[in-house]
Structure 1
Amino acid sequence: MSFIERRVLETFDYLHENAEISWEETETTKYIASILQASNCEVETFDDCTGVIGKFGSFNKGLPVVAVRADIDALWQEVNGVFQANHSCGHDAHMSMVLGLLWKLQQNPALQEKVAIKFIFQPAEEDGTGALKMIEKQAIADVDYLFGIHLRPFQETKMGRATPVIVHGATRSIEAEIIGEDAHGARPHLNQNAVEIGAQIVTMLGKIHLDPRIPYSIKMTNFHAGGKSTNIIPGNGSFALDLRAQNNELMETLEKKVNFIFEAVRNLYDVEIKVTNSTGVAAAKIDEEAINIMQNAIKKVLGDENVDPALVTPGGDDFHFYTIKKPSLKATMVGLGCDLEPGLHHPHMSFNRDALMNGVAILYEAVLQPYNV
């Protein structure tokens, strides 16, 4: 086992065991910042948010700036009966691979004068707001190329293979409250049952029919109403919806349909439905130059026969806000085969850790191409 591989695996183990959820990645930020500083990178952290940026190379010679982004937050989910922060989306692996890229670059001291590479360790990907905060912090103001990496389930990309682009769809999470009054179980005519209103919304969501040629979905992902007393009809409730569409235009239509449903239910039940939070991420914007760079990198590392076609997925990632906010940015995200099962966001997600060094090598080949070194 090489020195870098051992460090990558040790880093992964630490990050996996010390997961932190969106906007609470304080110790993760400190840990990564300390590694960047020890690696002689110029390091930037922030007073008002988590996340850290490192710079390697020469940024005052007019060189193109290549950035690599790693998401650093974990999910909050139930694992073996206990709710906890859990890296079931692979962000621990993403951070480890990007740090492995830094260590691999350091093995060639001559690169220090020939490249300008920025490492963006971004918070809060899981709630779709971290990329926008990094953009606000000018993380990509000087960036010409941006690369990301994401573990893929075995159904999408096999171990030893990779795709040069993940074509994510648009996603939106809507949280809302039903505001009413409770009533006695014997007097259902005195209020509107929040549980029945929730069921009505679910039924109406199922009646949304859009262009079947474009993947989309909408579902209720949580609902809360009532308390310990079973003889009270709850008038108040809260719920959340998950919306997905393969392109931004269809997502706009889907959101309009949801708002129509809310208005119809308000009128039908004479009850207030208040949207308390609405967040989402945009669908991917494709850049052929960045895809070609990543395709060449995969070919060099894994072989031409192990380059998969573009991966189209209804999953979302706020990575694509970078290209929307800076259209000139040449960006793509590689999808890495790693025998991941049973699936992303499963509390017991696992993958073949041998794939980590594949990711390091692919990123290394990709970031050097714009410099012709």
Structure 2
Amino acid sequence: MRSILESIQHELWEIFDHLHHHPEISWEEVNTTEFLKQQLVKEGYRVQTFSDCTGVVGEIGSGPLTVALRADMDALWQEVDGVWKANHSCGHDAHMTMALGVVKLLNHLSYRPPGKLKILFQPAEETGTGALKMMEKGVVDDVDFLYGVHLRPIQELRSGYAAPAILHGAAQIIDGEIKGVAAHAARPHLGVNAIEVGSALVQELSKIHIDPQVPASIKMTRFHAGGKSANIIPEHADFTLDLRAQTNETMEQLVEHLHHVVKGIEMIYGAEISLEQSVRIVAANVHPEAQKLMEKAIVAAIGQEKCAPPVVTSGGEDFHFYSVMKPALKTTMLGLGCDLAPGLHHPHMTFRRDDLLTGVEILARTVMETFRVAQAKGENDVEHFAANN
């Protein structure tokens, strides 16, 4: 398998270079969708695109079992050397390359799945809305196993190592607005200072205590109040809160505490505070069977000593909406070590490109092993039925 990978390496690097140098942000991945569609058609896949959104799904084969591989497509919008631009600094260009690499590798192996294999290129992961849109389109309705992949920063996994699961945390971004009462700065007793209300909110949020065994945090990341006149007590402020929790249950507790704090501050200050959720990401819901199959693939590809335990990270990923919204779906996400530095979302993020070949091999082996085990189980079920009837 490795020799075949090396024979198509040049083609994969061309794909990566194209995707890396043509980044598109969430819901604007139009050219990326077309490029991926052409690649899938070239490899003999049936292709589905959508009239009202970006994203593309390829499938091949048929049968009672459907295995799917998902890769995210969108780039970030960030400042790079003083210029704001779309930039692939989260590895999505690598994820798409690996997914296409699996397609090409399986074709070079003349592998035909004893069931249906789907390749899902999902838009808008960075906004936390792409997975939900794909579910709305029904692209995983027939899927039994769904696998993902994400490059890991060097702080989590070194090059040459891989993990059979990534335990992402839950995340929420909540925008808020404070409405107080304006007054002359010389007569503060006649007003309700939105800045003081915001300060109280920051202080009270720091007093929220959740089970210390489960990582969680809530903090204000943006606050704006007042105008050009310095002698006016501001009546209005807007702010943003960032909430993180390692489990979905803990996130629910954080949100509940937040609303209690807001109600208390409103009563104390006589202000109005409104909250609106802008981003929501659920925590990982890894299926043990999917994780075990991927672990077996990692060991086959790089050895037991290079198979790391599941990576626990505070970062979020909308991949996990698939299993939370469809509990019967068996999912896990490959964590690929590649000496990624200085970190994800850094404008000059780099990684060892050769490790993508390892990722392709692991994912391909995972797909093949999933079909093999399911087929063997089905045959055993038939034999068992025949022996007892």
Range class of TM-score, shorter chain: over 0.9
Matched residue SS, 1:208: coil
Structure 2 unaligned segments of length 5 or more: list them. 376-389
Q: Distance in 1 between matches of 2:159 and 2:149?
A: 15
Q: Distance in 1 between matches of 2:193 and 2:13?
A: 53
Match of 1:108? 109
Q: Is the 8 A contact 2:172 2:277 kept in 1?
A: no
Letter in 1 for 2:257: K
Letter in 2 for 1:360: V
Q: Out of 4-13 and 240-249, give the one that drifted further.
A: 4-13
Q: Distance in 2 between matches of 1:329 and 1:228?
A: 55
Q: Out of 149-158 and 82-91, give the one that drifted further.
A: 82-91
Is 1:208 aligned with 2:212?
no
Matched residue SS, 1:286: coil
Q: Distance in 2 between matches of 1:230 and 1:80?
A: 35
Letter in 1 for 2:150: H
Letter in 2 for 1:257: H
Q: Provide closer, same or farther for how the CA distance between residues 166 and 228 of structure 1 changes in structure 2, counting only shifts above 3 A.
A: same
Q: Provide closer, same or farther for how the CA distance between residues 113 and 82 of structure 1 changes in structure 2, counting only shifts above 3 A.
A: closer
Is 1:54 aligned with 2:55?
no
Structure ID, larger Rg? 2
Match of 1:339? 339
Letter in 1 for 2:327: P
- Per the TM alignment, residue 154 of structure 1 is displaced from its structure 2 partner at its CA by 1.0
Instruction: Output one character per residue of 1:213-265: Cα deviation in whole Å (capped at 9) or x when no partner.
Output: 11111122222333455555432222211111111111111000111122122
Q: Distance in 2 between matches of 1:359 and 1:102?
A: 13
Q: Is the 8 A contact 2:287 2:332 kept in 1?
A: yes
> Identity rate of aligned residues, in percent?
52
Q: Is the 8 A contact 1:77 1:347 kept in 2?
A: yes
Matches within 5 A, 1:156-167: 156-167=156-167
Q: Is the 8 A contact 2:168 2:317 kept in 1?
A: yes
Letter in 1 for 2:341: E
Matches within 5 A, 1:127-276: 127-180=127-180, 182-276=182-276
Q: Is the 8 A contact 1:64 1:370 kept in 2?
A: no
Instruction: Output one character per residue of 1:187-227: Cα deviation in whole Å (capped at 9) or x when no partner.
Output: 54454333333222222111111111111111222223334
Match of 1:94? 95
Is 1:32 aligned with 2:33?
no
Q: Provide closer, same or farther for how the CA distance between residues 189 and 125 of structure 1 changes in structure 2, counting only shifts above 3 A.
A: same
Match of 2:348? 348
Q: Is the 8 A contact 2:113 2:368 kept in 1?
A: no
Match of 1:82? 83
Q: Distance in 2 between matches of 1:226 and 1:85?
A: 32
Match of 1:365? 365
Q: Out of 245-254 and 176-185, give the one that drifted further.
A: 176-185
Q: Distance in 1 between matches of 2:79 and 2:303?
A: 39
CA RMSD of superposed structures (Å): 2.1
State TM-score, norm by structure 1. 0.92
Q: Is the 8 A contact 2:180 2:270 kept in 1?
A: no
Match of 1:64? 65
Matches within 5 A, 1:314-325: 314-325=314-325
Partner residue of 2:18 out of 14, 22, 29: 14
- Per the TM alignment, residue 360 of structure 1 is displaced from its structure 2 partner at its CA by 0.7
Letter in 1 for 2:145: Y
Is 1:45 aligned with 2:49?
yes
Q: Distance in 1 between matches of 2:232 and 2:28?
A: 38
Q: Provide closer, same or farther for how the CA distance between residues 124 and 257 of structure 1 changes in structure 2, counting only shifts above 3 A.
A: same
Q: Provide closer, same or farther for how the CA distance between residues 12 and 187 of structure 1 changes in structure 2, counting only shifts above 3 A.
A: farther
Q: Is the 8 A contact 1:153 1:340 kept in 2?
A: yes
Letter in 1 for 2:200: Q
Q: Distance in 2 between matches of 1:192 and 1:87?
A: 45
- Per the TM alignment, residue 312 of structure 1 is displaced from its structure 2 partner at its CA by 1.5
Q: Distance in 1 between matches of 2:16 and 2:198?
A: 42
Q: Is the 8 A contact 2:91 2:151 kept in 1?
A: yes
